[in-house]
């Protein structure tokens, strides 16, 4: 059976100090968040993913959003350089983790910036949000790293949300889903399906027809069930207060050497 591992990082005790950019700050309960994170990791494990914990980063409030630190295409890991200066200390341990799993490591060099949450992979197409924490230099370095491996890189404007994947993700058949008020260029996607809730735009593909998604999007879960998918819901409410979603709490790795 192909290996399926998920990099995760437990939340910092300073989680409540995490950055917010497009929403108003509301109080975050770190203890409640830890319980939600443990249940999220448990859902991954229950559906056939082996969690691999990255070293904790207690001094990095946003470190739990591990997806932003690295982008993996095939067996190449591109270590990001965040557009948020305060998050750049998060990457060192993530780089060690992906190298330890057998990835060839590349790095985004200054002055370019790239956040993993801006990268949506749909088959060999790699959509990259540009305009927030990812700039033209970071996009160019991603092209240089992944196009030789067969990737087709498509730039997507982002200004209404923190990251591209705050607005859109994709179903197993390649249909891109999104909450229309936050999507700026739906025409860039060959197939686009609007969802009724902002949190419904985020799904993690667990395998088969199973979709991991937030419990805060029941209407979207009903929509996906009607399409023949099997929603698996988790409460991540404390992370949603920091513009987090189900995708940014893990990095799913398939078919790497065991």
Tell me which residues are annotated as active site.
163, 248
All residues at 6 or more sequence positions from 85 whose CB lies less than 8 Å from its CB, including other chains: none
Phi/psi at 152 (nearest 5 deg)?
-110, 115
b/e map 171-197, b = 16+ CB within 10 Å: beeeebbbbeebbbbeeebeebbebeb
Residue with tokens 């203890």, as numbered in its chain: 31
Beta bridge partners of 162: none
DSSP 81: B
Structure tokens, 222: 């009903």
Structure tokens, 170: 């994709």
Strand stretches in 90-151, DSSP E: 104-107, 119-122, 125-130
Structure tokens, 32: 């409640």
CB distance 250 to 231 below 8 Å: no
End-to-end CA distance of the chain: 11
Structure tokens, 119: 């990268």
Structure tokens, 27: 């109080």
DSSP 117: G
């Amino acid at each position: 059976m192909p290996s399926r591992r998920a990099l995760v990082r437990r939340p910092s005790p300073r989680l409540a100090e995490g950055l917010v950019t497009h929403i108003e700050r509301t109080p975050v309960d770190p203890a409640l968040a830890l319980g939600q994170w443990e249940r999220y990791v448990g859902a991954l494990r229950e559906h056939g993913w082996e969690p691999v914990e990255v070293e904790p980063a207690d001094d990095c409030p946003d470190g739990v959003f591990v997806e932003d630190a690295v982008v993996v295409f095939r067996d190449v890991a591109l270590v990001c350089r965040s557009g948020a200066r305060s998050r750049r200390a998060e990457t060192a341990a993530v780089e060690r983790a992906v190298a330890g799993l057998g990835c060839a490591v590349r790095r985004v060099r200054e002055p370019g910036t790239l956040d993993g949450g801006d990268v949506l992979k749909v088959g060999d197409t790699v959509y990259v949000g540009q305009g927030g924490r990812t700039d033209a230099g970071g996009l160019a370095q991603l092209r240089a790293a992944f196009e030789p491996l067969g990737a087709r890189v498509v730039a997507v404007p982002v200004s209404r949300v923190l990251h591209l994947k705050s607005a859109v993700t994709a179903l197993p058949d390649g249909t891109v889903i999104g909450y229309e008020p936050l999507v700026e260029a739906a025409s860039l996607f060959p197939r686009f399906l609007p969802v009724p809730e902002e949190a419904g735009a985020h799904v993690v593909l667990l395998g088969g027809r199973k979709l991991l998604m937030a419990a805060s999007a029941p209407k979207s879960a009903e929509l996906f069930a009607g399409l023949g998918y099997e929603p698996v819901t988790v409460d991540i409410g404390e992370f949603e207060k920091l513009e987090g979603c189900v995708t940014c709490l893990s990095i799913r790795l398939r078919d790497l050497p065991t």
